[in-house]
Structure 1
Amino acid sequence: MEAWLETATGDRVPVQGSFSIGRASQNTLVLPGDPRVSRRHALIHQQGAGEFWLVDLGSSNGVLRNGRRVRQPEQLQDQDRIEIGSFLFVFGKQEAPPLSGVAETTVTKTTNFLTIKETRTEELWLLIADIEGFTPLSQKLPGDELAKLVGRWICSCKEIIESQEGIINKYLGDGFLAYWPSSETPPAKIAGAVAELQKLQGRQQFPFRLVLHRGKITVDNAVALGENSLIGPDVNFIFRLEKVAGKLGQPCLLSKTAAGLLAGFGRTVSVGEHPVAGFGGHHEFFSYESAPAPGDPAPPAS
């Protein structure tokens, strides 16, 4: 899949992977000279089979898609108009033309002209974060205020996860799926990310939920194409786990596997065995509370 932003002058800027937009020089697309553009203003994130999602990173002046402010991550469609400050872009995408002599099956090597898809299956960590009660929240708050809150939340979560070597793989409208791409990632990295996310839960203006699992994941990876798809029953399992967490009212819920590996970094408490849609039998889950770091205030006495 090929995608681009077309400028007002007709130039096309290719969009691949995680495409950042803003005033700062570190962005993929730098927009200088307009004070209405934030240093880190927005993100276009490629995910799945040809999906591109537009994310406002909590900018002061917002992002308009087809004349309406983006309040949460939204999937872009061909010919969508994107406005950031005084800059106007038209998003375009199309299927990449077939390469002569290359079959439609999975290609197995890399050349100077083509990055080939590779697949690997490993035990990896998965994390889902999602905003609780997004629909009533969107009805309660003005659109501009909601957009800033959600964007800043996403930006904070992204920084926390990336600081511990994780990656946001997929935006979900009111949340995201993150993973740690190395099977060698030490549990301390995961615990560090969860600890910071739980601190964020404590100071965020709206509640959000965390679920965590470690399982066997197939990664379909073509870096140059910006794609990085996660496949397998354990991916489905963590999405079902998020539904269980919602029913139980748990702000942070771990699978049994995840709880066993993080037990030394915080307090895990069994919340019983529960059915999981699409998976046979009952499965034990655990609440989790990160251990306070040195210098953190002690939790209030119960």
Structure 2
Amino acid sequence: VAAMLREWYAQCEKVLKTRDAIIDKFIGDGVFAYWPGDDISSRIKATEAAKILSSPDSSESPKRKWLKENMNLEVHCHIGLNIGDVALGAMGRGVNTAVGEAVNVTFRIESLTRKLQVPVLAGAPFLNGWPEGLQLYQNAGIHPVKGQPDPVEVYSLIDVPTMSF
């Protein structure tokens, strides 16, 4: 499992960094990354990264294939995308991170992927002001999430064969 995680971390790093993402941290079997802006270009790059990382083809690495065949263990990537204000900076003894309500909501959106059985969900703010994005996502409803007084509206990434922007 450790070898598979190392391989997955490397894949995440390659996919995210080539799309100008900043990797905040790897958290167990997850990664927290962000783009430094909310412009359309950043949303396109985030959507491309989500499409690649959540693709069934991305799970066919030799180590993941071995785990599936020999241990009946499958690894799936679930992704939450959102936009909002965050505080960036040192949060103690050399730890730099992004914090804020938008970060919390994004993690809650990611947790909804399992409930709704979809690999990628984006919060409504991610699509605000990006009409072309509505061709890539479909409304998945309004859902209560832990720690939020109001439910959040989410959109699932449509399984489009190729994305051209």
TM range (shorter): 0.7 to 0.9
Deviation of the 1:161 alpha carbon: 0.4
Give the equivalent residue in structure 2 for 1:238.
106
DSSP 3-state at the match of 2:162: coil
Give the equivalent residue in structure 1 for 2:69.
none
RMSD of aligned residue pairs (Cα, Å): 2.6
TM-score, normalised to structure 1, is 0.43
Distance 1:161 1:262, change over 3 A: farther
Give the equivalent residue in structure 2 for 1:177.
32
Instruction: Mark the runs of 5 or more structure 1 residues left unpaired by the alignment.
Output: 1-145, 296-302
Deviation of the 1:244 alpha carbon: 1.9
Q: What is the CA deviation profile of residues 159-215 of structure 1, one whole-angstrom value per residue up to 9, with x for unaligned ones?
A: 10000110210221111111112455723322332232233x433042121111111
CA distance in 1, matches of 2:31, 2:17: 14
Structure 1 consecutive aligned stretches of length 4 or more whose deviation exceeds 4 Å: none
TM-score, normalised to structure 2, is 0.75
Give the equivalent residue in structure 2 for 1:258.
126
Instruction: Mark the runs of 5 or more structure 2 residues left unpaired by the alignment.
Output: 65-74
CA distance in 2, matches of 1:151, 1:263: 37
Q: Answer yes or no: is the 8 Å Cα contact 2:24–2:34 preserved in 1.
A: yes
DSSP 3-state at the match of 1:208: coil
CA distance in 1, matches of 2:141, 2:120: 14
Q: Answer yes or no: is the 8 Å Cα contact 1:191–1:262 preserved in 2.
A: no
- The amino acid that maps onto 1:293 is T
DSSP 3-state at the match of 2:20: coil
Equivalent residues in 2 for 1:46-85, closer than 5 Å: none
Name the structure with the higher helix share: 2
Distance 1:219 1:163, change over 3 A: same
Equivalent pairs: percent with the same residue?
26
Equivalent residues in 2 for 1:194-273, closer than 5 Å: 194-199=50-55, 201-204=56-59, 205=64, 206-221=75-90, 227-260=95-128, 264-265=132-133, 266-273=135-142
Q: Answer yes or no: is the 8 Å Cα contact 1:214–1:258 preserved in 2.
A: yes
What is the count of residue pairs matched by the alignment?
Answer: 147
Distance 1:155 1:231, change over 3 A: same
Task: State the structure with more CA Rg.
Answer: 1
Give the equivalent residue in structure 1 for 2:68.
none
Deviation of the 1:236 alpha carbon: 1.2
CA distance in 1, matches of 2:26, 2:123: 22
